[in-house]
A and B are shown apart, each in its own frame.
Chain A
């Protein structure tokens, strides 16, 4: 299991160090201690070999003198988990991410200053969520009931046992006795659409990775059921009768390649009935993630044309076409056209928006605030090049695009979210529900 956890700043100074296992503390070898690299302890070994390494990080897992270091980096901060055993590597990384989430939930951005100002809290958290290197309940909702920055006021006996039963309970992510005057929930379907297209306009790969994020402000322990236009569900219902309806909705149903759920969702029920039922955590959380690859609506098409005019000039023309209902508006559109390293000057003409050559980023950045569906726009640029002796050809990185559209490129639709709370006197109809679809570009690239 995890033997120790260290947090470093960008210089490699230790901000937090918590050792769970004896084998980590110092790495002296039994018997003879041979000079040099062995007498360093784990903390220094990581600093020297990873943080101060000149080379780019070649692996997130490093083995130094029989000790394994797992690291993740958040802005300038390095989190490293250390072990000498054959631990579950996926679990260690998941834990490190979780640790970041918990810290963010407590004090916001993970920065050197925030860590230093909250070091007592961090130690307290680390003591609670890792025991002898085994991750324990790390749901912020539960943690916040008994690890607070203010210090705990005298708890009554009931409160104490409520805390422990929540921390260890089957519904560790939600505490009892939550009350809202207005029962309300927000569903955000957030999709990022990824594309890799050849210069000729052939789709090399495309997929949508989506998330359903829920903000729930519901009283009690509500039982929820979530439904979407999942092809498997719709087809199943179709068989049961209502052929008309099925044929109609069949068109709109989508094939989901795979999905994963927050731990509140009863997975065995999803596996057998493909129904998504759960008791939600309070506040914001990610209900599910999914991936689709079929029938994706690609909101934009990029048509590049690059021509080399002699050795010192490059002509670039890029056309973008929007491919969705004319009534909808795409926003925050940005097209990034890479330029060679030896670019000396650029002239740009664009029909719409603003375009600028950014020398520091080696790219022409073309920004358009808004664009309706079924439109097209064009940019052309002349790139002057300095003559070089460099034999190596320019690698021609792909043209990438950013945008935001108010629909789900996968075609996913929320069909219902039903809320049942038998013990309290509100019903599904009383809950105010909001649904929003946002499609964003993921890695949306066209080779040129």
Chain B
């Protein structure tokens, strides 16, 4: 085995031997040696030390050896730019070689060596090669211009290469044309406004001619370029379409898809009543279907594109439902995509077939696929009214299988069917209720609870059912808790007499014992609504719900238009605009479909516009009316013992809360609630500001948060925005740091301002001055829905890797989610690193103070400070007062602090009576921390 032999040689450190062989006189030996070098390069060995010896082999007439040396050069030139210069002469010489293969090889390789000094030498040979008599050299040189542009754009412009490249579009050789088009397209992308690819009818004509003659790859370059052109009128549009349609029969799928892209785009300009328009529509379907017999990876690309095409022009594929039927052996990614398209194509005409298929799929093995199939049945019911009944009965059959995840999915979709067709299928509720116990997924539990609440008046034991969920209220996910709260309030409004206890229980669970602000606030809203105006409560809680839409998961129309312009590309596979996954200037330019010439209406766009903004869930669990009302940003009430004044103040607050005019409906409720309040159960969790004078009214409820962030403990700055939603694809992070019970915490609010759900959060820190690192993973357990916020407290430790940062307290953070990775940096108050055992012995303090040289002392002023209990305040943040004396009406406080990494900082604080400006001197063996420590003193004292 040659490979292992070569590899073992290098492994055993015989670089010397290689060196000798490289310098051998024998050609064969030389070649073998270079091969060995390349082999070790491939497996990641560093063979850069052999650079001069390998370059020496370059001067050879053996093409194979030359190629190997060039390969080596491309890899190592960048790390050894000075040495690379040694190769320049040979390159320049090779560019003049009589053999066109060598000329091309030289110019190709030279462009790959990204060393500035070399690029200078590249210009002249490149200029010659662009005009070479041999097309093979010209086509290579054309690509080389793009390479050079990537290294030094200015140089390419200055040297006039762009004009030469444009001239090559008229070259007699189709392959040269294709490569020139590719190079120009790439360069044009980084200059969005330059008129570089000056496409006019003459150039278009040249491109179309070359299209018939060049390689399959060249055809792709040309078609992709054509797609950027906007014809002047419908006639030009039609004539281009006519010349592009033959490409639909090409064996290469990429050629077909690129042709489809051109046709889809130019079709926009054709009048709909034109015969040709209809002909074209008919011509598009067969090649798209043929793509589905390609290899699975290509099928996947094709399906993702068909998904877009079907949304834009449903008429193209409307008769082709059968080809999307899933085959047993399809890879899962193909199956899921096919299913998606099947639902989009489902109509009254084919619904029977579709349903029969979906039923089959629901018994397959792959869990994701089965779930999607069950969901699809629900979507069919919503989409095709005539089929609703059959869908429901199919779903009931599936529920009978008792396969856990099938049952749960079925219940989720049945909830939507109830929404779509009210008062039609409620007879199945009994069957659903039987499966209550087997539901273990939040979405299914929430759906079931919604059903029970919504139809409480028809379910005899609705109260029992809901009560059974209450037991484990705190273990439920937020989604379920919110739904349960709402459902019970609905139940109460429908059957007030029997359910007071229940509603009271859920209200107190939601408001008192929950850390979740959304839940608490919804609880308070209901509570207040019920106590002030039950009629209004009824109007709000039992309001008529808006109708749900037929189509879900539609791509937003402007995005869809853009994606249509990107058919065949990665953007069409990801269903995201290029700007979402491409860095830098490339692809930032948004593409648009041209306006149609004749009748303007583009199918569906207007009707779908409103729909697509809504999240796919028909009844968004978090985002409904009340949820939105409550979507205020409150800081969490995780710590702080209740202040002493609470008990009485609370009582007042509670009375006030409930005292408002309650009338007929629920007198008894008031009593019960008041009793509850009297017991002190309700108030316990209600924070301090409740006791403030003049409290009452809804506003106060919402003020709670502001009071909460400031307990007596360590100082923690208010949250500030660290990561702006704009820069992070909709993820906004604001946060602060705090030290709570000896644990450093990073407290963040993650807000999803994007349109899609965010999951899979993770966090990492870069090395920092004090070795801060997360003590555990970022706990974001539930997916973050659009417009939702979540509070997370991440405990930190200081055992991470250390690197001095500037400023010292700077922290670079990376946060990852399912969408991307985002970076930000923030500064933490150094006071959170002050440890609890930072109180120094008096004697040691004195000794240390003297011991630290005076150069290490720094003095600062703290202005406008008015405080009485300075020591107490400082101690709250682990700044300990060692001694205090008064000299000439001036208070002198001697303070000590210990940082997590063991650094002691000693301080002398001077306070002149009546003078709001304090003076502080800090002494520390590591004076670079002084500035930061001072800032913390200031922050602690002033807050």
Interface residues of chain A, those whose CB is within 8 Å of chain B, are: 1, 13-17, 20-23, 29, 32-38, 56-61, 63, 65-66, 68, 70-72, 83-91, 93-97, 113, 116-117, 119-120, 123-124, 127, 131-132, 134-139, 146, 151-152, 155, 157, 160-161, 163-165, 167-170, 172, 196, 198, 204-205, 207, 209, 257-263, 265-268, 270-271, 286, 288-289, 291, 391-393, 395-398, 400, 443, 445, 447
- C-alpha spacing A32/B768, complex, angstroms: 12
Contact (Cβ within 8 A) B108 A84: no
Contact (Cβ within 8 A) B250 A397: no
20 extra A-B contacts, CB within 8 A, seeds A59-B333, A90-B302, A267-B250: A22-B114, A22-B150, A34-B814, A35-B764, A37-B764, A60-B297, A61-B301, A63-B574, A68-B570, A86-B581, A86-B587, A88-B224, A88-B258, A132-B143, A137-B215, A137-B217, A152-B63, A172-B175, A207-B323, A267-B246
B519-555 contacts to A, CB under 8 A, are: none
Contact (Cβ within 8 A) A168 B296: no
Closest to A204 in B: B325
What's the nearest-Cβ distance from chain B to residue A165, in Å? 7
Closest to B819 in A: A63
Measured between beta carbons, the chain B residues less than 8 angstroms from A157 are: 98
The segment from B35-43, B376-384, B420-428 found at the interface with A is: B35-43
Q: Does B770 belong to the interface (CB within 8 Å)?
A: no
Q: Does B71 belong to the interface (CB within 8 Å)?
A: yes
Q: Does B893 belong to the interface (CB within 8 Å)?
A: no
Contact (Cβ within 8 A) A91 B363: no
Measured between beta carbons, the chain A residues less than 8 angstroms from B812 are: 32, 34
Contact (Cβ within 8 A) A90 B254: yes
**DSSP class of B's interface residues: helix, strand, loop or mixed?**
helix
Contact (Cβ within 8 A) A60 B333: yes
The segment from B285-293, B686-694, B830-838 found at the interface with A is: B285-293
The segment from B132-140, B663-671, B930-938 found at the interface with A is: B132-140
Contact (Cβ within 8 A) A123 B300: no
Question: Would A94 and B253 be within 8 Å (CB), given that A60-B333, A267-B246, A391-B403 are in contact?
Answer: yes
- C-alpha spacing A149/B375, complex, angstroms: 56
Which single member of B2, B67, B179, B302 contacts A134 (CB below 8 Å)?
Answer: B179
- C-alpha spacing A68/B298, complex, angstroms: 16
Binary A-proximity of B312-331 (CB < 8 A = 1, otherwise 0): 00000000001101011101
Q: Does B239 belong to the interface (CB within 8 Å)?
A: no
Closest to A68 in B: B570
Contact (Cβ within 8 A) B286 A258: yes
What's the nearest-Cβ distance from chain B to residue A387, in Å? 17
Contact (Cβ within 8 A) A119 B42: yes
Interface residues of chain B, those whose CB is within 8 Å of chain A, are: 1-4, 35, 38-39, 42-44, 62-64, 67-68, 70-71, 98-101, 104, 108, 111-112, 114, 134-137, 139-140, 143-144, 146-147, 150, 173-176, 179, 182, 186, 212-217, 220-221, 224, 243, 245-247, 249-254, 256-258, 286-287, 289-290, 293, 295-298, 300-302, 322-323, 325, 327-329, 331-333, 353, 356-357, 360, 363-365, 401-404, 566, 568-574, 578, 581-583, 586-587, 764-767, 801, 812-814, 816, 820-821, 823, 825
Contact (Cβ within 8 A) B578 A86: yes
Contact (Cβ within 8 A) A261 B251: yes
Contact (Cβ within 8 A) A86 B111: no
- C-alpha spacing A94/B216, complex, angstroms: 10
Contact (Cβ within 8 A) B217 A93: no
Contact (Cβ within 8 A) B1 A116: yes
Contact (Cβ within 8 A) A395 B569: no
- C-alpha spacing A70/B333, complex, angstroms: 14
Contact (Cβ within 8 A) B101 A146: yes
A-B contact pairs, 29 of them (CB 8 A): A14-B44, A15-B42, A22-B114, A34-B766, A35-B765, A37-B764, A38-B814, A61-B570, A63-B581, A71-B297, A85-B586, A88-B568, A89-B569, A89-B570, A93-B301, A116-B3, A123-B68, A131-B179, A136-B179, A136-B215, A138-B215, A168-B175, A204-B353, A260-B250, A260-B290, A263-B216, A267-B246, A392-B401, A447-B360
Measured between beta carbons, the chain B residues less than 8 angstroms from A117 are: 1-3
Measured between beta carbons, the chain A residues less than 8 angstroms from B221 are: 134
Measured between beta carbons, the chain B residues less than 8 angstroms from A71 are: 297
Contact (Cβ within 8 A) B402 A391: yes
Contact (Cβ within 8 A) B569 A86: yes
What's the nearest-Cβ distance from chain B to residue A51, in Å? 16
Closest to A96 in B: B297
Measured between beta carbons, the chain A residues less than 8 angstroms from B101 are: 146, 160, 163-164
Which single member of A137, A261, A286 contacts B250 (CB below 8 Å)?
Answer: A261
Measured between beta carbons, the chain B residues less than 8 angstroms from A291 are: 286, 289-290, 293
Measured between beta carbons, the chain B residues less than 8 angstroms from A59 are: 300, 333
Contact (Cβ within 8 A) B111 A132: yes
Contact (Cβ within 8 A) B586 A168: no
Closest to A72 in B: B297
- C-alpha spacing A96/B298, complex, angstroms: 11
Contact (Cβ within 8 A) A97 B295: yes
Which single member of A16, A32, A58, A288 contacts B823 (CB below 8 Å)?
Answer: A32
What's the nearest-Cβ distance from chain A to residue B55, in Å? 18
Measured between beta carbons, the chain B residues less than 8 angstroms from A17 are: 42
Contact (Cβ within 8 A) B290 A90: no
Contact (Cβ within 8 A) A57 B333: yes
